[in-house]
């Protein structure tokens, strides 16, 4: 499906946006303001949304939330217990909003001006589409930004312009028909830090549903915000690798059999041996150079950070193989300590 002129507003399905503040436990608070600024600049005005709902788990000062609500009258806040995790917050949002389509975005992402339009358009054109995923990439150029473009979770933007089937989605840039999602919910009780949406995606495919990727719905995700966030985030990627492999080894069961290793794969399996990893690396480099030539200059200087990232992932995997819940519990203690300060 090629990019088309935006249809009249009455042709769009009713929709709601859901964000959460759980990501702000280890990210800069100004990320939420930047995210909302990008949403306020959408070609589809958020004043026509049924709701724009933030699930707040106590990670954002009340004064900042009040300022944001004063600035954006279409914004609503729903308080949730501090123990509410990322995926549980997302599903709580789906249960509370009223739009036919629920659109997920994150407090540490920014969105291109036509992001929402491109994400909603497929639901206008085809009644059988249940899920549309956009493309999310890591923002930033420079010593650190280039390293994260190579090493972090999100692939570079593709050069595609057309709607096409896909194998995965990121929960910071996806839209579901709400009733479909409530009947086929994202699992919230897996031993992963992140990656539940990947398992959910593979489960949906096993059930015969098609996931669609809209490459023109683009989001930019912040890289890890400081040394502590960098350290823990890559350790936890290793933790997730281990648990994803354990889930793969289980017999077919609801939500737990799918190939969760698609999480970091650019639609490839990163466990497919050294050759497969080299192909993913080469693909990222080519797309980085095409998207911003400055990456080519910074690449040699960024490689030490990439190597440290890979070592942390490996360490996280080994630690979790020996003590399966150690890293998640340790990270929870770190976050609790920050809240007490």
Q: What is the pLDDT of residues 73-124, one digit of tens each?
A: 999 999 999 889 999 999 999 999 999 999 999 999 999 999 999 999 999 9
Among 33, 9, 12, which Cα is nearest to 21's? 33
Domain range list for the chain: 9-340
The pLDDT value recorded for residue 276 is 59
Q: Tokens in use for 124? A: 């206008």
User: What is the pLDDT confidence band of residue 200, given thresholds at 50, 70 and 90?
Assistant: very high
Query: What is the topology classification, in CATH, of domain 9-340?
Result: Spore Coat Polysaccharide Biosynthesis Protein SpsA; Chain A (3.90.550)
pTM of the model: 0.88
Range from 87-91, 146-150, 255-259 carrying the lowest mean pLDDT: 255-259
């Amino acid at each position: 499906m090629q990019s088309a002129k935006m249809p009249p507003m009455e042709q769009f399905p009713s929709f709601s946006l859901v964000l959460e503040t759980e990501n702000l436990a280890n990210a800069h608070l100004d990320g939420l303001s930047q995210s909302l600024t990008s949403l306020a600049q959408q070609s589809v005005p958020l004043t026509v949304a049924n709701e724009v709902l933030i699930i707040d788990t106590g990670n954002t000062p009340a004064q900042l939330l009040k300022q944001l609500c004063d600035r954006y009258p279409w914004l609503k806040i729903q308080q949730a217990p501090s123990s509410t995790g990322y995926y549980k917050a997302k599903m709580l949002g789906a249960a509370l909003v009223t739009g036919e389509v629920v659109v997920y975005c994150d407090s540490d992402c920014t969105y291109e001006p036509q992001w929402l339009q491109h994400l909603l358009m497929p639901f206008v054109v085809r009644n059988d589409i249940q899920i549309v995923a956009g493309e999310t990439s890591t923002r930033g150029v420079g010593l650190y930004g280039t390293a994260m473009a190579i090493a972090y979770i999100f692939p570079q933007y593709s050069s595609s312009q057309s709607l096409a089937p896909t194998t995965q989605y990121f929960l910071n840039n996806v839209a579901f028909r709400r009733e479909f999602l409530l009947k086929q919910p994202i699992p919230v009780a897996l031993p992963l830090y992140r990656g539940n949406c990947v398992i959910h995606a593979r489960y949906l495919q096993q059930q015969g549903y098609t996931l669609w990727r809209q490459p023109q719905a683009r989001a930019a995700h912040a890289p890890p915000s400081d040394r502590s966030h960098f350290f823990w985030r890559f350790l936890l990627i290793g933790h997730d690798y281990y648990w994803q492999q354990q889930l793969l080894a289980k017999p077919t069961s609801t939500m737990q059999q799918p190939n969760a290793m698609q999480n970091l794969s650019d639609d490839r399996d990163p466990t497919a041996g050294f050759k497969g990893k080299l192909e993913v690396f080469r693909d990222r480099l080519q797309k980085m150079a095409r998207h911003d030539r400055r990456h080519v200059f910074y690449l040699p200087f960024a490689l030490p950070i990439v190597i440290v990232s890979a070592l942390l992932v490996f360490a996280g995997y080994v630690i979790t193989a020996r003590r399966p819940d150690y890293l998640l519990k340790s990270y929870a203690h770190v976050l609790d300590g920050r809240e007490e300060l």
